Structure 1
């Protein structure tokens, strides 16, 4: 009796496929005073995303992934030099989750 297979035979998977990176559009809703007031894209969309990330406390809202938001509340009340260092670290960590952000630096306190 011949062997029956549910998998296709003879297919060859090649490693030399050329992949083209697709740049996703950044168009999103413009939010003002907790209301949708239109659309924005590019730099304005990124500015809004940064503001939302930094103003959302991480782990507080079940609707968001645990990678979304910041953990800035725990820094307030610490010594100035420790607080500045922690703010830098936590802000970098929070913003690095967005693929559009390559680097976070030049902090001014």
Structure 2
């Protein structure tokens, strides 16, 4: 006598493989310089805006976001840390901030330029649709 009312062998045999469907990227346009929102953007422009916003948002500081959203760059930027530490930590922190998004496959080829307490970071982003966004830049 089985403990479960369903024959698990039959259930597993009938399982269909799931295919992930990535929805549209349509979102509101944010003008970061003026602090205003207006209009809609989609596709690559929406992904670039997500990247910028995720990197400039401190992780675990705002209740509106879950613990996966945001970046922990403020822990190293502006501190008296060596260039070697920046070269290791900045790419890792940026990857953690953006690669959980289902549209982004990976980030690579990081170039970090330091000017006082500011960082200019450029990198490439490979998308899950096979496209590569080259020279993505953020100021931190």
Scaled by the length of structure 1, the TM-score of the pair is: 0.81
Distance 1:37 1:74 in 2: 32
Counterparts in 2 of 1:59 and 1:18: CA distance versus 1, 3 Å: closer
For each residue in 1:10-68, what CA deviation from the matched residue of structure 2 results, as whole angstroms up to 9, or x when unmatched?
Answer: xx746243544423011111111322210000000000000000000101111110110
1:42-53 aligned within 5 A: 42-53=43-54
Which residue does 1:3 correspond to in 2? Answer: none
Which residue does 2:28 correspond to in 1? Answer: 29
Distance 1:66 1:20 in 2: 26
Distance 1:74 1:20 in 2: 38
Helix, strand or coil at the partner of 1:70: coil
Helix, strand or coil at the partner of 1:108: strand
Which residue does 2:63 correspond to in 1? Answer: 62
Helix, strand or coil at the partner of 2:111: coil
CA offset at residue 84 of structure 1?
1.5
- Pick aligned residue for 2:81 from 78, 81, 89: 78
Distance 2:15 2:100 in 1: 30
Q: How many residues align?
A: 101
Distance 1:73 1:23 in 2: 31
Scaled by the length of structure 2, the TM-score of the pair is: 0.64
List gaps (5 residues or longer) in structure 1.
1-8
